[in-house]
Amino acid sequence: MHNGTTITQFIIEEQRHIQGATGDFTSLLNDIVTAIKVISNAVNKGALIGVMGSAGSENVQGETQKELDVITNEIFIKSNEWAGHLAAMASEEMDDIYPIPAQYPRGKYLLVFDPLDGSSNVDVNISVGTIFSILRCPGEGDAPSAQAFMQPGTKQVCAGYALYGSSTMLVLTSGHGVNGFTLDRDIGEFVLTHPNMTIPEDTKEFAINASNQRFWEKPVQRYVEEALAGKTGPRGKDFNMRWVASMVAEVHRILMRGGIFMYPKDTKDPTRAGKLRLLYEANPMSFIVEQAGGASSTGRERILEVQPDGLHQRVPVILGSKNEVETVISYHQA
């Protein structure tokens, strides 16, 4: 029998500290938690239920979808469309927004999500995850358009991610620190296991896709070259390099022990400002990282202050331990 705080208990206790809280937000989070449990089960069973491999389709970014991309997107929609807490949803896997169907009541929140981050890793059994963000819907009673989602990351009410690894974890912030919960499959509940998660200000670990080195801008080239030079270079210390190709796994490692993650602007595809999506990946992860004491930047500006101009806008991402992120920013300003 567990002796910890369940996520339901945690959310309700948090709600009690908010004057005028109606319970809508708490209920919405519970629906998201349900979706994550269902996705965890699908990912965990994988080949046993025949959901591995390509779906034979592409998403709006032109990326080949895995069968689990399609399945997990549908799980998130069906779990959250009916309860009356949302006005609309937007997903990395859908071209346009998903308004709540007319047969359901319309709520005051917007939900954006990447249902299966790092899905290219599914077939080789490497950790993947789900990322989500909650915004308030502007206007009262109006059917929202895509414009309603064009809010900077500072406007997020809540952000979180689920990590489907050796255990399933849910990491969450509503602007009052970061807390981690582990799924206890025996009782079917997430239990608080990592309260008040914080990121060390200093680190000797960086994560970047080194195969793109020839396309990086000079500030990132400089930072990585100095890190690789170790004790013999200007930084005077040895670094380790990591790369999982799953943003959830990269950020989780940083939350647990520090580090810096970079998917910077490069010249590989000059039509793209960056690789990662602002609404579905960069904003929620930046909110979590900053709430844990870290920093997040494009290299030129704070990610949470970027004004979105499209549902699938991409941005450069540099986040993690505060002092290392500030070093990379300083190189961009030099």
Q: How far apart are CA 326 and CA 183, in angstroms?
A: 35
225, 252, 253, 251: which is closest to 239 by C-alpha?
225
Cβ contact 67:51 at 8 Å: yes
Q: Give the chain's end-to-end CA distance (angstroms, integer).
A: 57
Q: How far apart are CA 273 and CA 314, in angstroms?
A: 6
Q: How far apart are CA 85 and CA 66, in angstroms?
A: 29
**Which helix (DSSP H) or strand (DSSP E) does residue 75 occupy?**
helix 67-80
Q: Is there a binding annotation on residue 275?
A: yes
CA dist list (Å): 303 to 129, 138, 283, 310: 21, 21, 7, 15
Q: Is there a binding annotation on residue 231?
A: no
Q: Is there a binding annotation on residue 116?
A: yes
Cβ contact 7:36 at 8 Å: no
Q: Is there a binding annotation on residue 236?
A: no
Q: Is there a binding annotation on residue 209?
A: yes
Cβ contact 30:24 at 8 Å: no
Q: How distant is the alpha carbon of residue 63 from its chain centre?
A: 18
Q: Is there a binding annotation on residue 114?
A: yes
Q: Is there a binding annotation on residue 167?
A: no
Q: Is there a binding annotation on residue 67?
A: no
Query: Given the structure tokens 């959901």, which residue do they identify?
Result: 51
Bridge partners, residue 160, by sequence: 132, 172
Q: Is there a binding annotation on residue 205?
A: no
Q: Is there a binding annotation on residue 118?
A: yes
Q: How far apart are CA 278 and CA 79, in angstroms?
A: 24
CA dist list (Å): 317 to 92, 146, 163, 275, 305: 17, 23, 20, 8, 13
Q: How far apart are CA 61 and CA 202, in angstroms?
A: 35
Binding-site members are 92, 114, 116-120, 209, 275, 281
Binding-site members for Mg(2+) are 92, 114, 116-117, 281
Binding-site members for substrate are 117-120, 209, 275
